[in-house]
Amino acid sequence: MTVRKLPAVGLAVMVALLSMGAGAQQAPQPQAQQGMAADQVPPMPPTSEAKAMISQKFKAADTNHDGKLTREEAKEGMPEVYKRFDQIDVKKKGYVTERQIGAYWQSRTQKQMQKENPIWN
């Protein structure tokens, strides 16, 4: 059962990082998440909310609506993705897709969880 939640945790990490770039539009965070560093895994991810938020931010950032984010589009619409653009764009095509972003955050989440609890995997 906990293995199924792994992609959701990755999405939750991405949502947390993306929401940091929202600035004034950001709602107050629950106290459980306030003291966390940007690369830590939140304790309980809102899976459907996380997917919806990622999709919404991706669509808003994709100004030409081609399903890809260039470095410039990411800089304007998804600053946390922009900061990690080279790590997400592993094939060095000059753009990233929503799927690549999700895969990157899932990988980061797995590494973080393994570091925190080596018995997890």
Dihedral of alpha carbons 102, 107, 113, 119, sign? positive
> Chain-wide mean pLDDT for the chain?
73
Strand partners, 69: 96
The H-assigned helical ranges of 21-97 are 31-34, 47-61, 71-77, 79-83, 85-88
The answer to whether 108 and 80 have CB atoms below 8 angstroms apart is no
* Rounded-to-integer distance, Cα 24 and Cα 27, Å: 8
Res 92: pLDDT: 94
The residues of the chain scoring below 70 in pLDDT are: 1-47, 120-121
Domain chopping of the chain, boundaries: 1-19+66-121
